[in-house]
Structure formats: structure tokens, C-alpha cells
Structure 1
């Protein structure tokens, strides 16, 4: 399948998965969610792909007939995409559970998953609960910066482990903290790589 972004250039599927530093912005939208319209509702979107939220966009909406996907930068952006779809169709749209986008590296032949940069700014008294929350999600700590009564924590973590993270920070800080996540890069997915390696062993034995 080929889609046309706002810039008008056709993109092949491989465009989304290579050279994120200089490549198309769509590769930076690793959180996905399927949507579907009931048969009684006419699709409001007239284009296959709609861009929203700046450059790079925070989310994009892909349409394939009466169904499609939302591609998003993070959970907050995914919520914005769902809200846009509900507004466009007066709430008559169904969504599946969000999923993390993965792909098979074309040269290395290993599954790749998104690794996210994380930045949390909160009051100083919330530092330990925030660090504990990050540790439970397997985050790699990079920096803890104390600034008067506030603290800024920077880390990296797998997107799959970060689902629900922003809501957790809201709860831990009584909505006084701000959590931001964005795609840092794609890395080999340990669990998926192990499964793929096992499948290759079985192939070799046949």
C-alpha cells in the first residue's frame, strides 16, 4: 500500500522504517490504533492520510474505506487523534486497543521496536515515586536535575513498557507533574528477537 502525505510525495512502506534522523516524519509515529465506522455512517475523511499537529506531526489518520488507523507520537497524541475522529463522525467510531508498531529490520533480519525518550518535570517531593515508576517500567535513567523546588528526570524506555505512563505520573503528582515522551530510535526487541531466532531454528531443521 502507498499513501500520500500532506507534502504530496508518495511513500513506500519502507520509507517509514529507515533513517529516522533524516527520513519522513511518519517514522516518528510509533503508536498505532485501528478504527472502524459502522455501515450507517459516511466517512468524513476524503484523503488517505491526514496530518495534524505541526512538523513533525503529532498524529496522522490513515483511511482505508470505512476503517483505518491512527498513527501517533505518544499516548497523548493518540488521544488527540481519537478526539478528532469522534468530532468528524459525531462519536460514531469504534477503536481497538492501542498497539506498538514493530518491524523486521531488512538487513539484520531482527524485529525492531520503538525506544522512547522520556522527560518528567515535577515537584521535588515527587522525585522518588517517579523514579520508582520508571524503574518498574525498565527505563534507562539518563539524568536527574534538581532545580529549586522542582526536579527534571530524563530517561529512555521501550514504548511497550510506557503505555499508561502519563496517567501514572498524573496520579503520582496529583496532576502537578508533566510527562513528555517522543521516539528516540528503534532497537532490537529482545523478546521478539528470541522468538524469531527460535522460528529460524525450526526452519533450519525442516
Structure 2
């Protein structure tokens, strides 16, 4: 086990440092508030052994999302149709905390763009789809994520700024950009309202 602790420019800069220092075939990023399932490494190792060595895919496994405030948990199952759907809508089509990536793919398409502070994982996923990287969806529940991370608590202005930056990076059509951002705003506020209502019901 190698441990490196030093100042960084944010979570994606830290991700990149880990990727650069790794020497394995697959890389799995586990955040500080996440924890893996007891049998995950064994099950994932068996799955990896079933793949041809010259065509290793990105493994999009499944995840348990835990809300400690409400004492509830939800299992999100990886869906083989989700990557294409996410790519078309410029959104995340895989469950990033439950995703394992061959180091060869990081070498091919690059690491995370640390100009983003929240959505570099979405940007990376879009680049993976653009270059037609293989993605294998698995029902293996590999990790547990707790509510309260940067992606679940960020303010609207910060999210909107990053969405705008994300869209400008991947398209040049101003009309489509405004339409995309409008749809995202509506979806964001609907989800926020739903979460607040659900939270009130548990009080």
C-alpha cells in the first residue's frame, strides 16, 4: 500500500495524482466517505478474468446510496442503456464511485480535467464515449456512497457554472446550449423539491 498526503487543487487533482502513481491494470477511485462491499474485490476480480486481455472494458458496477439523516438506503443498479442515454444528454451515464477503469484507457483519453471542481467525472465520461471506449454494466454492488459529498450538496450557482463550462467544451451551438441549460435547470429544481419533500416526510 502506498500513501501520499499533500495539498492539492481539489478532488480531481487528487484523482489524477492517484492515477499517475498507480501501476495496476484497473484503477478504482474510492472517495473518503465511500466504502466497498466485503465481497466486491473477489467478485470484480472474477469478472475481470472473464474479459479478453487485449480488450478490457470500463466496468460500471452498481452502488448502494446511503442517507444517514433519513436512515435510508437505495441500491442503484448499473444499466447497459444508461451510458448512451447519458452521453446524448451530456450527463453521467455510469455510477462513478462504482466504476473501474483500465489504466490503458486513462493513458489513451487522459485523466480528469481539474478545471472542473464538481463535473470532471461527467466530462471524462463524455470523452470516453466520444472515443468509443467499451463499457460493461454489472449488477455487482461494489461500493457504498453516503449523502453529503460534493456532488450532492453543491449550490445551484456553482452547478450551473460547471454545466455551462461542460457544454461549451463539448459543443459550439449557442441555441442548443441555452436549451440544454434550461432543461437542466428545470430538472435540477424538480429533483431539489422532491428531495426536500421526501426529507420532510421522514421528520
TM-score range relative to shorter protein = under 0.3
Q: Looking at secondary structure, tell me which structure has more helix per residue.
A: 2
Higher relative contact order (CA 8 A, sep 6+): 2
Q: Which has the larger radius of gyration?
A: 1
Q: Looking at secondary structure, tell me which structure has more strand per residue.
A: 1
What TM-score, normalized by structure 1, do the two folds share? 0.25
